[in-house]
């Protein structure tokens, strides 16, 4: 069985962070996952990870989808080094179920925004790829933890959106994108989603302005509005 600690070190050497791992059940080992025993998730290592991307050739070449191309190069090389196969959140549809995987790898929970919440990083955890290993990894046992949302009475995330995009029925993507394309949407465009920022958990992990603006522009242009 492969040990987990050296894998985490290898992930971190590339400016990425290990976001947990889990074993697939036998009945999940089908189709493209037939030869996979363990999945490990990786994301940017906070602001250090953002610096690794923003100094990269992809960030400066003015081509499309720079962060996705950077992820393919860096996570792809990491997978080769570790003898694993890389899977990406932006491939598809059909999309790999990263949110479902995340909830099995770590104590992540669905928040009222639909984004998953992490006990310390709040709503700021994102994924750049997954490493699919044919072998079983000796991953640390899953440590369950309650969702911070269970004891959050005020739920400021639900009232912070200027266009009320988060209703009990889900996320109104069209209303959000329309607002972002107007001058009044500048606060979200420059500093990240106000609803996401309203959550008190993991405030230290909130994106810095350059990263926030990058993600918001990418979101809006993917919607065909920018
Ligand atoms: C399509 C998509 C979108 C669409 C639609 C999202 C929507 N809410 O309808 C658009 C373009 C609008 C979008 C926007 C954003 N997205 Co998006 N998106 C995706 C993508 C590519 C696919 C989602 C999907 O359809 N999965 C397919 C299903 C089969 O997968 P799943 O894991 O089973 O996911 C579902 C379950 O979790 C299920 N679910 C809900 N409740 C429960 C409860 C239980 C118990 C279970 C088991 C499941 C479950 O809902 C999920 C469907 O979204 C994922 C990446 C990925 N591959 O997962 C990112 C992803 C979900 N997005 C992400 C982010 C960060 C964003 C943005 C904030 C982007 C930004 N500006 O920075 C915005 C805002 C989203 C919001 N407020 O909800 C992150 C979320 C990380 C997190 N902490 O949860 C992901 C994982 C991408 C990543 N690289 O990390 N997104
Ligand atoms: S503001 Fe409260 S309810 Fe909303 S995501 Fe944060 S902890 Fe959960
Ligand atoms: S980005 Fe702004 S408009 Fe869109 S959901 Fe978040 S707060 Fe609302």
Task: Give 12 Cα–ligand 2 centroid separation in angstroms.
Answer: 29
Q: Please name the residue that has the structure tokens 């918001």.
A: 216
- Shared-domain flag, residues 98 and 85: yes
- Shared-domain flag, residues 105 and 5: yes
Determine which residue's CA is closest to atom 52 belonging to ligand 1. Answer: 99
Domain final residue pick, 98, 132, 147? 147
Reply yes or no on whether the pLDDT at 225 is more than 70. no
Reply yes or no on whether the pLDDT at 226 is more than 50. no
- Shared-domain flag, residues 18 and 103: yes
Ligand nearest to C-alpha 179: 3
- Shared-domain flag, residues 132 and 160: no
User: For a substitution probing ligand 1, which of 98, 119, 168 has the most ligand atoms within 8 Å of its CB?
Assistant: 98
Task: Give 125 Cα–ligand 1 centroid separation in angstroms.
Answer: 12
Quick: pLDDT tens for 192-218. Answer: 999 999 999 999 999 999 999 999 999
Reply yes or no on whether the pLDDT at 23 is more than 70. yes
Domain final residue pick, 102, 128, 147? 147
- Shared-domain flag, residues 67 and 86: yes
- Shared-domain flag, residues 124 and 215: no
User: What pLDDT shows up at residue 224?
Assistant: 57
- Taking the CA of residue 180 as reference, the ligand 3 atom at the shortest distance is 3
Reply yes or no on whether the pLDDT at 128 is more than 60. yes
Give pTM, 2 decimals: 0.95
Q: Is 157 in the pocket of ligand 3 (CB under 6 A)?
A: no
Q: Domain residues for 118? A: 1-147
Instruction: Quote the number of domains for the chain.
Output: 2
Q: Which residues contact 106 (CB under 8 A, 6 or more apart)?
A: 19, 20, 118, 142
- Shared-domain flag, residues 30 and 82: yes
- Shared-domain flag, residues 26 and 81: yes
- Shared-domain flag, residues 27 and 137: yes
- Shared-domain flag, residues 109 and 209: no
Quick: pLDDT tens for 98-124. Answer: 999 999 999 999 999 999 999 999 999
């Amino acid at each position: 069985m492969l040990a987990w600690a050296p894998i985490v070190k290898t992930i971190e050497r590339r400016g990425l962070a290990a976001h947990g791992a889990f074993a697939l059940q036998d009945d999940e080992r089908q189709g493209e996952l037939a030869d996979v025993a363990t999945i490990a998730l990786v994301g940017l290592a906070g602001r250090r990870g953002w610096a690794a991307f923003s100094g990269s050739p992809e960030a400066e070449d003015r081509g499309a989808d720079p962060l996705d191309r950077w992820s393919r190069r860096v996570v792809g090389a990491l997978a080769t080094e570790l003898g694993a196969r890389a899977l990406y959140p932006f491939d598809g549809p059909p999309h790999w179920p990263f949110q479902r995987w995340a909830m099995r790898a770590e104590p992540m929970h669905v928040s009222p925004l639909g984004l998953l919440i992490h006990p310390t990083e709040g709503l700021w955890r994102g994924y750049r790829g997954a490493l699919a290993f044919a072998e079983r990894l000796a991953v640390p046992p899953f440590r369950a933890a309650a969702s911070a949302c269970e004891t959050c009475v005020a739920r400021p995330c639900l009232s912070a959106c200027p266009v009320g995009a988060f209703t009990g029925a889900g996320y109104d993507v069209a209303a959000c994108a329309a607002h972002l394309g107007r001058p009044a949407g500048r606060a979200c465009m420059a500093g990240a989603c106000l609803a996401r920022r309203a959550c008190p958990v993991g405030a230290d992990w909130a994106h810095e302005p350059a990263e926030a603006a990058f993600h918001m522009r990418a979101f809006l242009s993917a919607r065909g509005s920018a």
